[in-house]
A and B are shown apart, each in its own frame.
Chain A
Amino acid sequence: MKTNNPHGDDAALDALLQEWKPKASLPPRFQEQVWCRIERAESAPAPTVTLAQLFAAWLATKLPRPALATAYVAVLIVIGAGVGWSQARQESERVSTELSARYAQAVDPYQTTP
C-alpha cells in the first residue's frame, strides 16, 4: 500500500531498525542441530517413482491424446490380426499334413502310422 510520504517513513524505519537489537538468545547447540538436519535431509533417499505410477501417469496424461490413442489402438489391432493370421496358417498347414497322411494311409496299407 502506498503512503503519502514514503521517503520520510523509510528513513524512520531505517533508524528504528538500526537501533533494534534482538534480545532472544539461540537455543543451545543451535548450529549443530541445523547441520544435523541438513545432513539428514541430504542422506534421506530421494522419493522413488514406481513403474506403476509412471504407467498411471502415462495413462492419465499421454494416452488420451487423440493421435497417440489412435496409433495405440491401430497398432494393437494390427498385432492381433498378425498373430491370428500366423496361427491360422499354422493350423491350416497342420490340418493339410494330417489329411494328406490320412489319404496316404487309406490308399497305401504299407504306410506306417506315425
Chain B
Amino acid sequence: MRRGLLILALGLVGAALAYCCVYLMGTATPRALMQSAQPELAWLKQEFNLSDAEFTRISQLHAGYLPQCKERCQRIDELNDTLSTTLASATQVTPEVEKLLSERAQIRASCQTEMLKHFFEVSRTMPPEQGKRYLAWVRNNTCLREQAMDHGTEKHGATATPAHHP
C-alpha cells in the first residue's frame, strides 16, 4: 500500500513538474516581451523577425513619429471643442462652422497621410518580405481600413470616436 501511494504521488509530482517546465519554456518569449521597455515595439521585432539594427532604426522612427502625431491629435481635439461650442449656439451652417469642419477634415487627412508615410518608412526599414507583411498588417489593423458606409442598416460604430493615444 505504501509503495502504491509513493508511486501515485510520484506520478502527480511528475505531472506537475512537466506542466511547469513546459509552460515556463513555452511562455519565455511572451514574458520577455512584456518585461521589455517598450513591449509593443518588442512585439514588432519578434513578429517581423527584425535584426537589432533594424529594430533600433524602427524604434527611432517610432520615437520621432509619436510627438508629431500627438500634436496633430491635440489640434483635432481643440477643433472638436471649438466646434461643439459653436454648434451649441448655431441654428444653421455658418461660414465659421464650415471653416471649422474643413480645418478638422484637413488635419485628419494630414494625420492619416503622415501615419501612412510612417508605415511606409517602417516597412522600408524591414527586409522586403517582412515589409510587405507589415504593410498588409497595418492596412488591416489601422484606420486605413475604414468601415463600410451605411445609414443605420447595420450596427456599425457610426459615431466619431475621439482620437487619442494610449
Binding site for B on A (CB under 8 A): 56, 58-61, 63-64, 69, 72-73, 75-81, 83-85, 87-89, 91-92, 95-96, 99-100, 102-113
- Tell me whether A80 and B16 are in contact in the complex, defined as CB-CB below 8 angstroms, given that A91-B27, A92-B30, A96-B47 are known contacts: yes
**How many residue pairs bridge A and B at CB < 8 Å?**
140
- Size class of the B contact interface (CB-based, 8 Å): 35 or more
A-B contact pairs, 10 of them (CB 8 A): A56-B1, A63-B4, A79-B15, A84-B20, A91-B23, A95-B34, A99-B42, A100-B141, A102-B166, A109-B73
**CB of B83 within 8 A of chain A?**
no
User: Which of B49-57, B86-94, B95-103, B157-165 touches A?
Assistant: B157-165
Q: Which of B93-144 contact A (CB under 8 A)?
A: 111, 115, 118-119, 137-138, 141-143
A92 touches B157 (CB 8 A): no
A73 touches B142 (CB 8 A): no
Inter-chain contacts of A73 with B (CB < 8 A)? 7, 10-11, 14
Taking the closest CB of chain A, its distance from the CB of B130, in whole angstroms, is: 15
Q: Sorted from nearest, which 10 A-B pairs have the closest CB atoms? A: A88-B26, A80-B15, A84-B22, A99-B43, A80-B18, A59-B4, A95-B30, A110-B143, A103-B40, A84-B23
B21 touches A84 (CB 8 A): yes
Binding site for A on B (CB under 8 A): 1, 3-5, 7-8, 10-12, 14-27, 29-30, 33-34, 39-44, 47, 62, 65-66, 69-70, 73, 111, 115, 118-119, 137-138, 141-143, 157, 161, 163-166
12 new A-B contacts, CB < 8 A, other than A64-B4, A69-B7, A105-B165, are A56-B1, A64-B3, A73-B7, A75-B11, A76-B11, A79-B15, A81-B21, A88-B26, A103-B43, A107-B115, A107-B118, A109-B70
